[in-house]
Amino acid sequence: MAEIYGTCDDRFEQVSNVFSANLDAGHDLGASVAVVVAGEPVVDIWGGYLDEAKSTPWEKDTIINVWSTTKTMAALCSLILADRGELDLYAPVAKYWPEFAAGGKGEIEFRHILSHTSGLSGWSEPMTTEDLYDWEKATSLLAAQEPWWQPGTASGYHAVTQGYLVGEVVRRITGQTIGRFFADEVAGPLGADFHIGTPASADDRVAPVIPPPAPTAEMLAAFDPAGPGARTLGNPPLDASVSYTIPWRRAEIPAANGHGNARSVAAVQSVLACGGEVNGVRLLSEKGCEVVFQEQSNGTDLVLATPLRFGMGYGLSGELMPIPERACYWGGWGGSVVIMDLDTKLCVTYMMNRMESGLVGDLRGAGIALAAFAAVNS
């Protein structure tokens, strides 16, 4: 049996068992799992290694690039500003970012960005990975271009662009970058070790990801080279190993380069699961949390070519994710995932280094989540 470290309430023993089985079978190399119920940590475990040679163990404070799980942090920042009355989710983006009205985008509302329905799933102009470190270039190109489809009519996963779009609106409203706003208003008050723009002081705790298998010919054939899927995911083409680099780590890429672990993701997102307040720290009103469930789209995503149902900034229960109706979720490239259930005040998170090919979670995290739901409902 793989050695598991940390704490796990007896009631949630099956969560630890599933995690251990993933490590034993080689599905996981190194990972962390957390479950928080009503603001109380009931599972905080980790195990495995940082490297294929199994020479360096995954430690309690190890953090890693969690890819699109970062989007839940940007979404939470948006909800906080909306709850304060500083951001109207149904207002045109151009109200806060006048340049955004170019290219016929004057009617695109902020909710369209949060739900991946704005038609700006990628850049029309060629982009390099290095361009992602240039906030002004990344945002000004998006402000200038035309949408790729009629906004509001369908989702098309804004794999990387969503963070810049959300982040620029946050910057226009607060005068702070979204990484700074998140650190000051969210992670700091909650004591959460999660970063959008990771400081040098954390470098010695960052685990490298193990890149996913190369896409098969069958997977590649599923994408129309002129369609939004190929245009979104191929510009710039991302190699997972770029996340090892210091420029990537230091940049603010609010849809893709957040660094944390299961404990820190749960510490933040349990706020939503608990109706806006955890351990005396209130970031949202209960009404502000309910906004998540305002359905914005439900159908086959134009980029991922899979059925998805989006609320305000989070995925909702649907064919792909049969979670309770008052639960929401999102995950990251390679397998990381976070799920919140507002009825049971449950938040379950899984962050790992061995990436699989999926973009928004896989069966490893699903098995852990099923065990957590079974325990909380027992």
Share of the chain above pLDDT 90, in %: 93
What is the C-alpha to C-alpha distance for residues 322 and 293, in angstroms, rounded to an integer? 15
Averaged over successive runs of 10 residues, the pLDDT of the chain (378 residues) comes to 94 98 97 98 98 97 98 98 98 98 98 98 98 98 98 98 99 98 98 98 98 73 82 95 98 98 98 97 98 98 96 95 96 97 98 89 91 96
Cis before 236 (ω within 30): yes
Residue 68: active-site member? yes
DSSP string spanning 218-285?
Answer: HHHHTS-TTSHHHHHHBTTBPPGGGGGSHHHHHS--TTTBEEE-HHHHHHHHHHHHTTTEETTEE-S-
CB contact at 8 A, 141 and 125? yes
Q: Which one is catalytic: 16, 20, 32, 68?
A: 68
DSSP string spanning 302-353?
Answer: TTT-SEEEE-SSSEESSSS----TTEEEEE-TTS-EEEEETTTTEEEEEEES
- 211-230 tens-digit pLDDT: 998 776 666 666 788 899 99
Number of neighbours of residue 129 by Cβ within 10 angstroms: 14
Provide the 8-state DSSP code for 15.
H
CB contact at 8 A, 155 and 144? no
pLDDT for the residue 358:
76
pLDDT for the residue 219:
63
CATH number for position 319: 3.40.710.10
CB contact at 8 A, 334 and 355? yes
pLDDT for the residue 220:
61
Q: How many domains does the chain have?
A: 1
pLDDT for the residue 366:
94
Which domain does 262 fall in, by range?
4-376
Predicted TM-score (pTM) of the model is: 0.97
